[in-house]
Structure 1
Amino acid sequence: MAIRTALFSKVLRDRSLEEAAELAAEIGYDGFEPMCREPHLGVERSLEEVTAFRDHLDDLGLEVPCLATYSGHYVGKSQSECEAELEKLDTFLEFAEALDCDIVRHGPGGPPVREATDDDYEHAAAWLARAADRAAAYDVTIGIEIHAHTITETVDSTKRLIAEIDRENVGAIHDAGNMYITLDDYGQKSIQKLGDDLAHVHVKDEQRIDDPDRPGAFELETDDGLETFQPRLLGEGSVDHGPLFDALAEAGYDGYVTDECHVPRDDREDEREVAEHELAELRRLLG
């Protein structure tokens, strides 16, 4: 099966969940990855609403490759706070079952790798193992995103945590945009290193800049100090996704690639143009 394209609903965050899915289908995406917070698929949604949304997706011909939750973030939390995150996960697992989705994003949180301690990894692994055990009952994989300013901001640190969790249904969500920020290799070597731990792929473009006042600019403390970044349209920033897509093809990856573009927009028509541009670029990269 070929690699398929999906759109992260946050790209269309000014529309309702249903409207966002309809536009993704109209433009030509194969899948739709819901942002699991309001105004889209927040934990407060009822299971009846989610089931009705699944019927809507079926009518649109869209699959859900992953639920992009903002749950977990166990490092630095108390036992009661961690238990609350597991309860939140339970709800999202019910949503995943209703949506025929087999990956739920659920992360460790924590400080960047340069500040992380062995205790941070041990704490996160223990709670994520419990999360994975709950997910296994739904035949769902826990997807840990490689993300800046967490204990999994590199391939090596992500593989370390996955090894410590020691569950079959835990994998990595590759994100070249995030890895560009941390200067981690996001091309062929990253896919080779991840191997069977690769569960899902996110893509977005970023660029290092000097002016923090430019639209959408954000600052992050990296190993090189405080740096400024600006989200860009896919193919117009500094993240070269070509080698990544070549490596995915070589590895026989047959899942989804979800576009997460977060350039600032002025209106709903801009949203549509962004989503259309991103799909065209994805198709170009897929050859």
Structure 2
Amino acid sequence: MKFSVFTVMLPDCSQQRTLDLLRANGYDGVEWRFTKTNPAKRDEAPSFWGNNLSTVETDSSEAELLELKQLTEAAGLVVPNVAAYIGSGDLAATENAMRAAKLLGAPSIRIGVPNYDGKRTYQELYAEARAYLQEAEALSRSYGIQGLIEVHHGNIASSASLARRLVEGFDASHIGVIYDPGNMVHEGFENYQMGLELLGEYLAHVHVKNAAWQRTDETLPTIGSGEHGRIWQASWSAVTAGVVHWPQVIAALRAVGYDGWLSFEDFSGSADSETLLRDNIAYIRSLL
């Protein structure tokens, strides 16, 4: 398997610093965060989803993207995926991300999935998502860039089986799935090997992080103030310390013959960026 980092986890690192650290710690690739930084946040302290210094801007010029590709290659790295933030149905953003991926030499981009909050039915959201994926598949054929949905809490592909249902029937060389066990701690847990077997040919990429459940002091008023009324909440943890048992995940990935990318996305804040890069890859290497 090959190792990369989704740069959302490196908010305090410039693009060049990111490349230097990945090269120094034995990574094979860099999965660039691709979005537009809010100008109002640029004076704030670095953060995962705010002023993230390890971001490729969506309005980057062709020259800027080609320069970044050269810097990436000079560091001995490749770009396995462009991690875009695209709303389901946004074809303009999808095409823009595919153009960027082509210039960066990436084979795929992350594409959107509708969120689920109960205000609209699953069936309605599913129909809209399928219509979007048809358009995304056509763009993929045109650009030669695969579109990947992500197994993620809060959307209609929160488990491997729901993701498989959403992509069923599409050409797996154009539409695939990012498997993310850390997200499945929040919502969507299924037996790892069974879920991977269900994904089959659509399994295209894997994110590595972890989360754990904690009981909070908040209560649900309709239930009462006793122990049973207290709310449990999932929060990010160190890769070695959460609910996801990564030895079991690695064994399941091997069982289905996966030999692709493992891309770290550590939101734990349990150590500084350089330490996390060093320790995370050492831990997963030890499992292999």
Q: TM-score, normalised by structure 1?
A: 0.84
Unaligned runs of 5+ in 1: 75-81, 214-223
Give the 3 Å change call, closer, same or farther, for CA 235–141 of structure 1 in structure 2.
same
* Percent of pairs with identical residues: 25
Report matched runs for 1:224-239 at 5 Å. 227-239=232-244
CA distance in structure 2 between the aligned counterparts of 1:116 and 1:132, rounded to whole angstroms: 24
For residue 19 of structure 2, the aligned residue among 18, 21, 24 is 21
Report how far residue 16 of structure 1 moved. 1.4
Corresponding residue for residue 92 of structure 1: 97
3-state SS of the aligned residue for 1:249? helix
- Opposite residue 7 of structure 2, the aligned amino acid is S
CA distance in structure 2 between the aligned counterparts of 1:7 and 1:62, rounded to whole angstroms: 11
Report how far residue 42 of structure 1 moved. 1.8
Comparing 109-118 with 190-199, which one deviates more in the overlay? 109-118
Report how far residue 18 of structure 1 moved. 2.2
For residue 278 of structure 1, the aligned residue among 277, 280, 287 is 280
Which one has the largest radius of gyration? Answer: 2
Aligned-residue Cα RMSD (Å) equals 2.3
Give the 3 Å change call, closer, same or farther, for CA 247–114 of structure 1 in structure 2.
farther
Corresponding residue for residue 145 of structure 2: 140
Report how far residue 265 of structure 1 moved. 6.2
For residue 266 of structure 2, the aligned residue among 261, 269, 272 is 261
CA distance in structure 1 between the aligned counterparts of 2:20 and 2:118, rounded to whole angstroms: 39
3-state SS of the aligned residue for 2:73? helix
CA distance in structure 2 between the aligned counterparts of 1:51 and 1:180, rounded to whole angstroms: 37
For residue 62 of structure 1, the aligned residue among 77, 83, 86 is 77
3-state SS of the aligned residue for 1:199? strand
3-state SS of the aligned residue for 2:179? strand
Verify the 8 A CA contact 1:112 1:148 in the aligned structure 2.
Answer: no
CA distance in structure 2 between the aligned counterparts of 1:116 and 1:281, rounded to whole angstroms: 41
CA distance in structure 1 between the aligned counterparts of 2:236 and 2:204, rounded to whole angstroms: 24
CA distance in structure 2 between the aligned counterparts of 1:16 and 1:189, rounded to whole angstroms: 39
Verify the 8 A CA contact 1:113 1:153 in the aligned structure 2.
Answer: no
Verify the 8 A CA contact 1:9 1:34 in the aligned structure 2.
Answer: yes
Give the 3 Å change call, closer, same or farther, for CA 167–248 of structure 1 in structure 2.
same
Aligned: 1:204 with 2:219: no
CA distance in structure 2 between the aligned counterparts of 1:226 and 1:126, rounded to whole angstroms: 37
Corresponding residue for residue 122 of structure 1: 127
Report matched runs for 1:38-57 at 5 Å. 38=37, 39=53, 40-57=55-72
Verify the 8 A CA contact 1:234 1:261 in the aligned structure 2.
Answer: yes
- Opposite residue 130 of structure 1, the aligned amino acid is E
Report how far residue 205 of structure 1 moved. 0.8
CA distance in structure 1 between the aligned counterparts of 2:263 and 2:278, rounded to whole angstroms: 14
- Opposite residue 137 of structure 1, the aligned amino acid is S
Corresponding residue for residue 245 of structure 1: 250
Instruction: Report how many residues are paired.
Output: 260
CA distance in structure 2 between the aligned counterparts of 1:36 and 1:186, rounded to whole angstroms: 31
CA distance in structure 1 between the aligned counterparts of 2:133 and 2:230, rounded to whole angstroms: 30
Unaligned runs of 5+ in 2: 38-52, 219-228
Give the 3 Å change call, closer, same or farther, for CA 143–157 of structure 1 in structure 2.
same
- Opposite residue 284 of structure 2, the aligned amino acid is L
Corresponding residue for residue 47 of structure 2: none
Give the 3 Å change call, closer, same or farther, for CA 172–186 of structure 1 in structure 2.
farther
Give the 3 Å change call, closer, same or farther, for CA 112–249 of structure 1 in structure 2.
farther
3-state SS of the aligned residue for 2:205? strand
CA distance in structure 2 between the aligned counterparts of 1:208 and 1:64, rounded to whole angstroms: 33
Corresponding residue for residue 216 of structure 1: none
